[in-house]
Structure 1
Amino acid sequence: MMNFNGELLNSEDLNLSSENRAFKYGDAIFETVKVMHKKVVFWEDHYFRLMASMRMLRMKIPLEFTLEFLEQEILKTVASCEDTNTYRVRLNVFRKDGGLYTPKTNKIDYTIEAHTSSYQTKKAYSLDVFKDFYNFSGLLSTVKTNNRMLNTLASIFADENDVDNCILLNEKKGVVEVTNGNIFIVKGNVIKTPALTEGCIKGITRNKVIEILSKNKDFTLEETSISPFEVQKADEVFITNAIIGVQPVTSYKKKTFTTELGAKIAGNLKVLQITGV
């Protein structure tokens, strides 16, 4: 089932016009959230990121778009799906039809779609670097817009080269993120992740992992610029997103990594997902 502006529809009954701005201009943003045991994981963080993104993109936020309203709309959509414990939910917000580059209105429509999720982390997980195109290191790159062409091309590259994921670079040839999440590298007792100024998405799981690491006195966390060479020299690498949580990386080019810290953080994150604290 699909939720369109609060109405539940069969997916095949959803009719979007040829003037849909998400389709024509990528004039849309989205949140991918995980629902476990009828609970939207880290929902407050997702909600405030969505509100900040809508304000930044000059979308008119409806009065009913409260934290509680959207949470209930997500759970209503999930309840219409096959009964299981874990769901992947996409909340898409886009400007109403009309206009060319200049929209006729800043008012919005939204869709919510939910699918059962049984994703498990992989024991063997490989990375390469995608160099064909760059991710610009501007503030707009930190927002989850529907313009994911770079991620799509990098994912095709990964598939063609038999690796699990690809590192995206910015115009300064610094590491930004991977196709579907943020990246952390470990060297000795220093853990680095690209700063938001490098152009990476303001990942919710990224922030949770930073919170976990900030409480561990054995490591120093740096949000900074990272070169692909540093990735190759790292002891450990892991990636994060809302659905997988933490995925340890086992290889990058000819380098192999340990996974001990990534596995430990994944366990800590699961506790946060369940308890919410």
Structure 2
Amino acid sequence: MFLVNGLEPTKKDLLKLFEGRELLAGRTPFTTAISIDGKVPFWGHHLERLKNSFNFLFKDQDFKELEKKLNLCLKKINESSGTQYLRFTMIENKKSVQLIFQMRELEKNNLTELSLKSIFHPGRVSSLPRNLKYGNYLEAIEEVKKAKEEGFDDCLLLDDEGRACESTIANIFFRKGNRIFTPSLKSPVLDGVTRKVILEILDELGVECEELTPNRAEWENMDEVFLTNSTRGPVNVSKIDTREFESGSDIFRKIRAAYDVRLNSK
């Protein structure tokens, strides 16, 4: 399903999207989510991201107008069944903000572990809000393509000091013993929705979590690594470069179980 402003687009609607430079330049803030039998887990977090992104980029616009368009999309989602992939993208056009909505069946992915290739990457621009997702992924796409040719699933992005920040599509967590670490938002990382949820779960479980952006020596010394994003939830990392890690620890299984409960109850 592809909608513009919550409605089936006409040819004129589609042409309007290209009238400015926004779409071509990647000035297209968005959020990705899933729906399960018509309900969007953690919708409050996704709505917060959209609102914060809107207020940062489109200061002269009224978010209430966008909410009307979002509500039309939510009605379509409510009519769906199964697990769907969702993407909400905003584009400013002639002093108004257009909403592009995409919904398709989420492809089944049986991967329980992922492997990462570490690369130096400039990361997110420091002047932009940490929860802002935007459309320019060209460099990341090309790096992942190279990594897959070498047998990896994704890339671990290192800052200019060689510290681990995130993957191209997910936040990252590390475990050492009974302690969990995740890169600080002061680093060039996304303040991801699932990252927020996992931090809430860790707090409920009484598991200590410290913000740390580890250098190579530090992350190679970790026992376990896992990634988090909205389409997969928490997934173990089997190895980074040649360093192999444990998978499926008791702590990870508790995190995954608590996440699945939330996923199916909100």
Q: Give secondary structure in 2 for the equivalent of 1:275.
A: coil
Deviation at 1:235, TM superposition (A): 0.6
- Closer, same or farther in 2 for the Cα pair 1:9/1:19, shift >3 Å? closer
SS of the aligned residue for 2:47 comes to: helix
Partner residue, 1:61 = 62
Cα 1:118–1:47 change in 2 (3 A) is same
Q: Relative to 1, partners in 2 of residues 1:136 and 1:111: Cα closer, same or farther, differing over 3 Å?
A: closer
Conservation of the 8 A alpha-carbon contact between 2:22 and 2:91: yes
> Contact 1:121/1:247 (CA < 8 Å) preserved in 2?
no
Once residues 244 and 70 of structure 2 are traced to their aligned partners in structure 1, the CA distance between those partners, rounded to angstroms, is 43
Count of matched residue positions in the alignment of Structure 1 and Structure 2: 261
Q: 222, 227, 233: which one pairs with 1:234?
A: 222
Instruction: Tell me the equivalent position of 1:35.
Output: 35
The AA in structure 2 aligned to 1:21 is: R
What is the distance in 2 between the residues matched to 1:121 and 1:211?
26
Within 5 A, what are the aligned runs for 1:159-170? 159-170=148-159
Q: Deviations over 1:214-258 (max 9, x none)?
A: 1223x3201122213322221100000001011111122222222
Q: Which residue of 2 aligns with 1:122?
A: 111
SS of residue matched to 1:258? coil
Pairwise CA RMSD: 2.4
Q: Which runs of 5+ in 2 are unaligned?
A: none
Following the alignment from structure 2 to structure 1, what is the Cα–Cα distance between the partners of residues 257 and 169?
Answer: 20
Q: Secondary structure at the match of 1:196?
A: coil
Q: Is the 8 A contact 1:84 1:116 kept in 2?
A: no
Judged with a 3 Å threshold, the aligned counterparts in structure 2 of structure 1 residues 258 and 72 are, in CA distance, closer, same or farther, namely farther
Which whole-Å deviations, capped at 9, do the CAs of 1:106-149 have from their partners, x for residues lacking one? x2111101010133351342111012x32146142621011223
Which structure ranks higher in relative contact order (CA pairs < 8 Å, sequence separation ≥ 6)? 2
How far is 1:186 from its partner?
0.5
Partner letter of residue 23 of structure 2? F
**Closer, same or farther: CA 210–77 of 1 in aligned 2, 3 Å:** closer
SS in 1 for 2:189: coil
Match of 2:188 in 1: 199
Identity across the alignment (%):
26
Any conservation in 2 of the 1:89–1:114 contact (CA below 8 Å)? yes
Q: 1:102 corresponds to which residue?
A: none
What's the counterpart of residue 70 of structure 2? Answer: 70
TM-score, normalised to structure 1's length? 0.85
Q: Secondary structure at the match of 1:125?
A: strand
Where structure 1 has 5 or more consecutive residues not aligned to the other structure, the ranges are 98-104
1:91 aligns with 2:105: no
Q: How does 1:1-277 map to 2 (within 5 A)?
A: 1-9=1-9, 14-16=14-16, 18-59=18-59, 60-66=61-67, 70-76=70-76, 79=79, 84-96=81-93, 105=95, 107-131=96-120, 133-136=121-124, 138-140=126-128, 142=130, 143-217=132-206, 219-259=207-247, 260=249, 261-276=251-266
What amino acid maps onto 2:89 in structure 1?
N
Change (3 A) 1:17 1:111: closer
Instruction: Measure the CA separation in 2 of the matches of 1:135 and 1:207.
Output: 20
CA distance in 2, matches of 1:177, 1:53: 20
CA distance in 2 between partners of 1:248 and 1:139 (Å): 31
In structure 2, how many angstroms separate the alpha carbons of the residues matched to 1:35 and 1:136?
Answer: 28
